[in-house]
């Protein structure tokens, strides 16, 4: 077991071995050499084991670094189990993006690793499927057809070698213009590179409820599903088996199932593995009411039908048959078994054998073609055909049956992804990517809103729809991936758009000393002179928290010059360059009171430009009313010497007259019967636009 998240240690990067015979853990000692490297601690990464000899891991989340954008990783590692040695796979050619919440699954037939889904603050939902060919040692994106997930994370993927298909279940998907937790089951056929949504083939009410951060493993006949975050949680909805042969889910926690021992606890993001012979499943760790450090062993019969000893419950499960030995009318022995096998009961003397084959199932078929909403799933079903935009039965007359599905190339979950696809445009009102028939070139991504992660202050972050502010990380995050990014409470209090008044702005967001010192944890590193230049930084009454004021101002100046998103003004460039070239400049620390400055010259005053004049004082400044203005209840108010009899003074010597009045002081009434304004004092009967259903 590699990595994970500990509430006491944060992201982990150790490898531990669990002895299934002695039921003990052992930490694996990594070979240490001068040039040895190890992956950084991480969680929500993708991992799988290949040839029982090598563990591969890709991406994941790590702890916050100085650069806020690198919590999501894009590194690729392999661990040699026999030699106990890590090695990082060098980036070359094309490479998947930084991502977390994805799956990395070994495809045995192709001897390759398949990366599906995931999310990142910069790239949003990952909507490509990537393959890493172990022999060629390079990544390549796969061109997948069909109605698969446009974007997905927190799901599970298993490879079923008998059918050579990959099965993806649950997670958070981007659908219907929003992200939502789902219980969709997708099948990815590698040979045809086609998605099929299996829910539409069996609209049964027995499907598991939507969930995210669950776990799954596979046997020859079943995919076993455990736990996950779901609302509301119920013990009867925690453990399922999916029958590949029947395309049917089986609830292993229902009342009719024979169960012995402790039940699974409420948990999500747990690890899960199955013994090679499929006799036992191990569930490790996870989050629940707190972080879990337990190991749960679940033993299963070779034939899952054995879990239903009673006839009625047995025959309710597709693929299960029932047999019994009877003496007269008394049942002496009975057994539920897979209906592809003979009854396993030994005969009893003078008994009669009773058998019921139950429901015989065939994989990926549907009795109701009209339930399927997409062409790909429809044509995957032998009894259905796609006709005029709908799925119908083969027995239905169709003048022009469609033998091949048209692919939708405009599949994206956000504007930036959409505008990178030639011929596609992002519809903001519908929040979806649509074909742009007028322009086959890719649109510029510069017209798209920036990702939430690009906003560096709380106030600017919360002005953007779907963006939220993490007070613990001091980071702007998207509501679409908050579930994974903040799992375990690492984000602390998360503010939404209606919480703007509670924004804990960082000290460096304040550009004036007066606003800086209003915050108890901030102080001002002042430049020489009275221009009010300086940097707001965290500190105490004695000194800044991070070094000296000179160091702080130097770092701030370098960031200003290197900021490509907000290029500085030429005057700022000249001032900063002058400082960087003159290392003899000394900056002073001010925590209680601002140093003297001329606010009237540097623009750090709050005087109204039209009505007030700024006057510099020894301590601060004063706003005095300018010519044509006088002090009033609402500040400096304009003066009209003649007054405004039927109107309001809006500027010095300028009245805004009420409806139906004109003149320099609004004292003359128009001759329009009170239904219109007139052209002026000398044209009182020249009425303008008439109101109140009147006319001239």
What distance in Å separates the CA atoms of residue 37 and residue 494, rounded to the nearest whole number? 35
For residue 292, pLDDT over 80 is answered with no
Tell how strand 152-153 and strand 165-169 pair up.
unpaired
Res 202: pLDDT: 64
Res 172: pLDDT: 92
Task: Find all residues with CB under 8 Å of 328, minimum gap 6, and list them.
Answer: none
More confident residue, 147 or 642: 642
Q: Tell me the pLDDT of the chain averaged across its residues.
A: 85
Mean pLDDT of 116-122: 90
Percentage above 90 pLDDT, the chain: 35
Across 89-93, 104-108, 348-352, 504-508, which has the greatest mean pLDDT?
104-108
What distance in Å separates the CA atoms of residue 55 and residue 2, rounded to the nearest whole number? 9
Q: What share of the chain is helix, strand, coil (3-state, %, to 5)?
A: 15, 35, 50
Token couple for 334? 């009975």
Q: How far is CA 408 from the centre of its chain?
A: 23
* Residues 465-488: tens digit of each pLDDT: 889 999 888 889 988 888 889 887
Backbone angles phi, psi at 211, to 5 degrees: -155, 165
Res 627: pLDDT: 92
Burial grade of 36 (CB within 10 A; 0-12, 13-18, 19 or more): exposed
CB 227 within 8 A of CB 268: yes
Res 108: pLDDT: 92
- Indicate the pTM of the whole model: 0.71
Res 543: pLDDT: 86
Res 499: pLDDT: 87
* Residues 667-679: tens digit of each pLDDT: 999 999 889 999 9
Instruction: Find the Cα–Cα–Cα–Cα dihedral 553, 554, 558, 561, rounded to 10°.
Output: 60
Would you call 458 helix, strand, or coil by DSSP?
Answer: helix
Mean pLDDT of 261-279: 84
Res 49: pLDDT: 93
CB 214 within 8 A of CB 268: yes
Q: What angle do CA 181, 186, 188 make, to 5 degrees?
A: 140
What distance in Å separates the CA atoms of residue 279 and residue 99, rounded to the nearest whole number? 34
Res 392: pLDDT: 83
What distance in Å separates the CA atoms of residue 660 and residue 692, rounded to the nearest whole number? 13
Mean pLDDT of 366-392: 72
CB 147 within 8 A of CB 195: yes
What distance in Å separates the CA atoms of residue 93 and residue 76, rounded to the nearest whole number? 14
For residue 394, pLDDT over 80 is answered with no
Would you call 459 helix, strand, or coil by DSSP?
Answer: helix
Task: Find all residues with CB under 8 Å of 647, minimum gap 6, and list them.
Answer: 655, 656, 657, 658, 661, 665, 666
Would you call 280 helix, strand, or coil by DSSP?
Answer: strand
* Residues 71-98: tens digit of each pLDDT: 899 999 999 998 899 999 999 889 999 9
Residue with tokens 């037939």: 109
Least confidently predicted of 14-28, 69-83, 167-181, 581-595: 581-595
Token couple for 105? 């699954």
Res 551: pLDDT: 84
- Confidence band, pLDDT 50/70/90 cuts, at residue 619: confident
CB 129 within 8 A of CB 188: yes
Q: What angle do CA 516, 519, 523 make, to 5 degrees?
A: 50
Mean pLDDT of 675-688: 91
As annotated, the residues of the chain forming the CATH 3.30.1680 domain(s) are: 452-502
- Among residues 144, 97, 95, which one has the least CA distance to residue 121? 97
What distance in Å separates the CA atoms of residue 365 and residue 251, rounded to the nearest whole number? 21
- Confidence band, pLDDT 50/70/90 cuts, at residue 605: confident
Res 472: pLDDT: 84
Across 371-385, 437-451, 499-513, which has the greatest mean pLDDT?
499-513
* Fold observed for domain 452-502: ligand-binding face of the semaphorins, domain 2 (3.30.1680)
Mean pLDDT of 374-403: 76
CB 447 within 8 A of CB 482: no
For residue 436, pLDDT over 90 is answered with no
Res 490: pLDDT: 86
Backbone angles phi, psi at 548, to 5 degrees: -95, 165
- Among residues 145, 141, 137, which one has the least CA distance to residue 116? 141
Mean pLDDT of 270-289: 85
Task: Find all residues with CB under 8 Å of 660, minimum gap 6, and list them.
Answer: 669, 670, 672, 674, 676, 677, 678
What distance in Å separates the CA atoms of residue 172 and residue 125, rounded to the nearest whole number? 10
- Confidence band, pLDDT 50/70/90 cuts, at residue 156: very high
Res 625: pLDDT: 94
Packing angle, helices 549-562 and 570-581, rounded to 10: 140
For residue 288, pLDDT over 70 is answered with yes
Res 154: pLDDT: 94
* Residues 167-211: tens digit of each pLDDT: 999 999 887 667 889 999 999 999 988 888 888 766 555 789 999
* Residues 556-568: tens digit of each pLDDT: 777 766 655 555 5
Mean pLDDT of 239-262: 86
Percentage above 70 pLDDT, the chain: 90
């Amino acid at each position: 077991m590699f990595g994970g998240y500990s509430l006491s240690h944060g992201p982990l990067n150790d490898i531990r071995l669990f002895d299934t015979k002695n039921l003990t853990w052992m930490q694996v000692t990594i070979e240490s050499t001068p040039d040895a490297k190890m992956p950084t601690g991480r969680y929500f990464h993708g991992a799988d084991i290949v040839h029982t000899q090598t563990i591969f891991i890709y991406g994941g989340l790590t702890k916050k670094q100085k650069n806020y954008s690198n919590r999501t990783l894009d590194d690729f590692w392999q661990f040699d189990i026999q030699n106990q040695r890590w090695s990082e796979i060098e980036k070359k050619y094309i490479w998947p993006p930084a991502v977390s919440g994805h799956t990395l699954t070994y495809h045995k037939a192709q001897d390759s690793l398949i990366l599906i889904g995931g999310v990142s603050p910069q790239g949003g939902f990952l909507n490509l499927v990537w393959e890493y060919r172990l022999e060629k040692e390079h990544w390549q994106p796969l061109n997948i057809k069909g109605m698969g997930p446009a974007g997905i994370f927190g799901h599970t993927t298993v490879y079923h070698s008998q059918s050579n298909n990959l099965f993806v279940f649950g997670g958070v998907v981007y659908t219907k213009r929003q992200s939502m937790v789902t219980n969709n089951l997708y099948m990815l056929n590698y040979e045809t590179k086609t998605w099929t949504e299996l829910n539409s083939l069996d609209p049964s009410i027995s499907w598991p409820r939507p969930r995210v951060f669950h776990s799954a493993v596979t046997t020859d006949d079943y995919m076993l599903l455990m736990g996950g975050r779901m609302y509301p949680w119920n013990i009867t909805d925690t453990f399922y088996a999916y029958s590949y042969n029947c395309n049917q889910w089986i609830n292993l926690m229902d009342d009719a199932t024979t169960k012995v021992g402790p039940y699974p606890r409420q948990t999500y993001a747990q690890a899960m593995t199955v013994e090679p012979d499929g006799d036992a499943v191990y569930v490790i760790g996870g989050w629940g009411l707190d972080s879990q450090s337990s190991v749960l062993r679940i033993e299963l019969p070779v034939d899952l039908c054995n879990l239903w000893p009673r006839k009625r419950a047995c025959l309710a499960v597709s693929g299960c048959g029932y047999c019994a030995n009877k003496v007269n009318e008394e049942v002496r022995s009975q057994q539920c078994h897979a209906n592809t096998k003979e009854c396993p009961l030994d005969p009893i003397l003078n008994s009669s054998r009773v058998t019921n084959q139950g429901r015989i199932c065939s994989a990926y078929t549907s009795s109701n073609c009209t339930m399927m909403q997409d062409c790909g799933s429809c044509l995957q079903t032998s009894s259905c055909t796609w006709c005029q935009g709908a799925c119908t039965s083969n027995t239905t007359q169709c003048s022009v049956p469609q033998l091949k599905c048209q692919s939708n190339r405009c599949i994206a979950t956000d504007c930036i992804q959409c505008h990178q696809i030639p011929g596609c445009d992002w519809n903001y009102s519908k929040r979806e990517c649509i074909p742009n028939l007028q322009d086959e070139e890719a649109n510029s991504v510069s017209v798209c809103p920036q990702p939430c992660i690009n906003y560096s202050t709380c106030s600017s972050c919360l002005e953007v729809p779907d963006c939220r502010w993490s007070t613990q990380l001091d980071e702007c995050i998207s509501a679409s991936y908050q579930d994974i990014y903040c799992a375990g409470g690492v984000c602390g209090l998360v503010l939404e758009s209606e919480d703007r008044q509670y924004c804990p702005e960082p000290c460096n967001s304040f550009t004036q000393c007066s606003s800086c010192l209003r915050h108890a944890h901030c102080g001002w590193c002042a430049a020489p002179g009275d221009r009010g230049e300086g940097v707001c930084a965290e500190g105490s009454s004695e000194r800044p928290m991070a070094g000296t004021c000179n160091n702080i101002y130097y770092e701030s100046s370098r960031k200003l010059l290197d900021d490509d998103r907000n290029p500085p003004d030429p005057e700022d460039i000249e001032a900063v360059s002058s400082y960087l070239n003159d290392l003899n400049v000394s900056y002073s620390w001010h925590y209680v009171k601002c140093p003297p400055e001329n606010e009237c010259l540097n623009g750090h005053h709050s005087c109204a430009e039209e009505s007030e004049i700024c006057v510099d004082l020894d301590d601060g400044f004063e706003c005095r009313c300018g010519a044509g203005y006088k002090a009033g209840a609402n500040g400096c108010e304009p003066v009209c010497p003649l007054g405004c009899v039927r109107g309001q003074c809006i500027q010095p010597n300028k009245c805004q007259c009420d409806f139906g009045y004109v003149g320099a002081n609004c004292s003359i009434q128009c001759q329009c019967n009170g239904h219109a304004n007139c052209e002026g004092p000398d044209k009182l009967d020249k009425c303008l636009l008439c109101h109140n259903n009147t006319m001239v």
